[in-house]
């Protein structure tokens, strides 16, 4: 499994399950949205109304969390028995909401 996964080019995942399944689109749009939000929070002082703890939480989660979800999705979709289901889509959608929940509840 690992050796087969290592031989596949990244384009196999992008053209395959990433763009053809709803779960793939959720991962892709979440990844892009959070990365843009993290970049805006870092380089543009748009979040001037936030305290420092919320700003650091937003930057950290908006950059790190989408990478973890994206990497997990690629590992799962590399499996030969990968079948996208509604449960996977809902699970990934809930995973994508975790940074927002952490940001809202931070001090």
Tens of pLDDT, residue by residue over 44-78, are 665 555 667 766 776 677 777 777 777 767 666 66
- Whether 15 and 67 have beta carbons less than 8 Å apart is answered as no
Using a cut of 0.75, tell me whether the model's pTM lies above it: no
Q: For residue 44, give both structure tokens.
A: 């543009």
Number of Cβ within a 10 Å radius of residue 73: 24
Separation of alpha carbons 5 and 95, rounded Å: 24
């Amino acid at each position: 499994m690992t050796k087969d996964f290592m031989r596949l080019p990244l384009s196999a995942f992008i053209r395959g399950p990433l763009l053809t399944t709803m779960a793939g689109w959720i991962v892709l749009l979440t990844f892009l949205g959070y990365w843009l939000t993290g970049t805006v929070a870092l380089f543009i002082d748009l979040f001037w109304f936030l305290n420092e703890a919320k700003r650091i939480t937003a930057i950290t989660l908006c950059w790190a969390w989408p990478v973890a979800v994206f990497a997990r999705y690629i590992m799962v979709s590399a499996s030969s028995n990968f079948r996208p289901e509604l449960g996977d889509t809902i699970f990934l959608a809930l995973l994508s909401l975790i940074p927002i929940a952490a940001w809202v509840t931070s001090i």
